[in-house]
Amino acid sequence: MQALRDQDCSFEVDLIRNVFPMSRAFQTMPDRCTTAYFVQVDADMILHPQAIRTLHTVVSRSDLRTCMVHGQLYEEGFGIGGAVKCWKLGVFRFFKFRDVRTVDRDLYRRTRRWGLKRMRVDGVLGVHRPRHSGFSRYLKSKSDIEKWRYLRRPADRYALQALDKTMHAYPDSRHRLLGALLGALTGRERLNRSKDIRLEADRFEDVIALLGQEEGLFVSNSVPDQKAQQLRDLFVMCFEDFDGRDDERRTALAREALEIFGTHAGKLTPGQLLETVER
C-alpha cells in the first residue's frame, strides 16, 4: 500500500479482500471498475514509483487488438518472476474469469481466439515477494506443482527441477518440500479449480496438526541419500498421474511424506493424510 501511495501519478485504489476463490477475486476487478482501465496489483507485489504511469501510458496508446499490457517484476533470490497487469475494461463486456486452474491463462487463451493480444512493457516495474512466510513458501511450491500438472507438463520440464532444487536446500526448504509433495497428491477435482487461499490456509493448518507439528516450530526428519531417489521416482509417477487415480502410488508418496514430516508417524496412515489433502 505504501508503494501505491508513492506512485508518481494519481488514481483510485479499490482493495479486494477476503474474496474466494481466485477466479471470483479476479472477476471482482472488472465488476467494480468504473474507468477505462484497471491495474491488477497482488498483495505480494511492491511497485516502483513509475509503474502505474508507465502501464497507463502504454495501454492508452495501444491498438484496439491489445486487451492488456503487463510489466515484469523481480523476484528476490530467483530473478524475473511475476507480472503486474493493466487491463482494458471493455474486454470484460465479452469475457469473464472462469473457475479453473490458471485463471488468467484460461482467459488469455479465449481472447487469442478472437485475435486479441497482450503487450509487455520494457523494464522491471517492481518486486514480487510470494515467499514471505512458511505458509506462503509452502503454498507457492504446492501451487506451482498443481499448475504444471493441470497443464500436463512433463515432470522433467519444470517440476523435477523444482523438487531437486528444494531437496538440495533441505532442511531450510522444508515448507517448500511439503508443498511440492502435497501438490503431487492433489486429486483431479481440486486440480481443475482455481486456487482458494482460504481453503488452502485451513488445509495447511489441518495438515500441520495431523503431522503433530506447530507451524511456528515446523521441523522435519532428514531425507537419507538412499531414499532421495525413491522419493523422486514416486513424485514423478504421482505428478504424471494427472487424473490422480493411481491410489497405490499416491499412498506410497503419502507414506514418504509422513516419514519426513510426521512427529508421530507411527500413529498415522497414508490414507489419513490423503483424506486431509482432499478435504
* pLDDT per residue as tens digits for the range 251-270: 999 999 998 888 765 578 89
Residue 219 has pLDDT above 80, yes or no: no
User: Measuring CA to CA, which residue among 78, 99, 83 is closest to residue 22?
Assistant: 99
The kind and range of the H/E element at 236 are helix 225-239
**Domains observed in the chain:** 2-128 (3.90.550.10), 134-278 (no CATH)
Residues facing residue 127 across a β-bridge: 46, 74
pLDDT band for position 148 (cuts 50, 70, 90): very high
Distances from the Cα of 57 to the Cα of 35, 60, 62, 183, angstroms: 15, 5, 9, 40
* pTM for this prediction: 0.90
Average per-residue pLDDT for the chain: 92
* pLDDT per residue as tens digits for the range 99-111: 999 999 999 999 9
pLDDT for the residue numbered 264: 62
Is 149 in a helix, a strand, or coil?
Answer: helix
User: Measuring CA to CA, which residue among 254, 256, 257 is closest to residue 270?
Assistant: 254
